[in-house]
Amino acid sequence: MNYTVSAIIPAGGTSSRFGKTNKLLEKIDGKEVIKYTVEAFEASNVQKIIICANVAIIDELRNIFQNSSKVQIIEGGASRQKSVFNGLNASECDYVLIHDGARPMISTDLINLAIEEVVTKKALTVATKTIDTIKEVQDGKIIRTIDRAKLYNTQTPQAFQYDLIKDAHIKLYGQNFTDDAGMLEALGQTVYILNGSYKNIKITTQNDIEIAKVYLSE
C-alpha cells in the first residue's frame, strides 16, 4: 500500500449495563474481549492501532498489549466522541478506521475490505440490513410500520479519509453524536454502506458474552 492506515478503538466506557466488571476485560476461553478485537486489526493491513482507554483500566490494557508493536494506548475522553477525537489527535495518517472495542467478532477480511473501499469512497460504515419489523411508537401506541427495505443497522468499523473525519470532529466538537458517520451526515457529506456480518455484535450485557462464546468457538 502507498498510503497509511490507522485504527482507533474507543475503550473509555464504564460498562454500566454489563455489571461489576469492565466488559472489555471479560475473558472468553481465557482471552479478554478487547484482545480478540485488537488481534483482528493486528492481522490486517492497518499499520497502527490506538486504544483510547478508560483510566480505570489503562494499566491493565498496557499489560495485555505490552508485546504488541502496532498498539498505542492513550487516555480516552469523557465521552465516546471525545475519546475518538483524542485518537485522531494521536494519529496522522491517510485513512482511519474507528471500531468499538466491544465488537470482538470483527473479521480481518472485513477490516481489509473496508480499507480497500474507503480509498475511493472516503467515508463508509459497516452495516447489516434490518431483518426485524420496525414500528414507530408514541405514548405506547403504534403510529406506523417503517419500510425495513430502506433500513440498516449500523456497526463498526467505520472508515474515513483522515482529514475528512478530523475536520468533522473539529467543527462539531462538543455536540452529541452516537457514531462518527453521523457527524459527516450532519455536514452534508456522503457516507456509504459496506455490508457487514450479523455476527459482528456489540457486547453490552452478560447475555452477549454467551452469544460471543458461540461465535468465537466456530
Neighbouring residues of 73: CB distance < 8 A, sequence distance ≥ 6: 50, 51, 53, 58, 61, 62, 65
Nearest to 183 by CA among 82, 106, 93, 77: 82
Lowest mean pLDDT among 17-26, 38-47, 53-62: 17-26
Structure letter (DSSP) for residue 39: H
Domains in the chain: how many in total? 1
Q: Where are the alpha helices (DSSP H) in the chain?
A: 33-42, 58-64, 80-89, 108-121, 162-171, 180-186, 206-216
**Which amino acid makes up residue 74?**
I
| Cell (9 digits) for 150 | 430502506
**Three-class SS state of 71:** strand
On whether the pTM is more than 0.85, the answer is yes
pLDDT tens string 152-206: 999 999 999 999 999 999 999 989 898 999 999 999 999 999 999 999 999 998 8
| Beta-bridge partners for 145 | 135
Domain that holds residue 20: 5-216
Distance set, CA 74 to CA 2, 90, 158, 165, 189 (Å): 27, 8, 20, 19, 29
CATH code, domain carrying 146: 3.90.550.10
Q: What per-residue confidence (pLDDT) applies to 216?
A: 87
Rounded CA gap, 159 and 44, in Å?
A: 14
124-158 b/e with 16+ CB inside 10 Å = b? bbbbbeeeeeeeeeeeeeeeeeeeeeeeeebbbbb
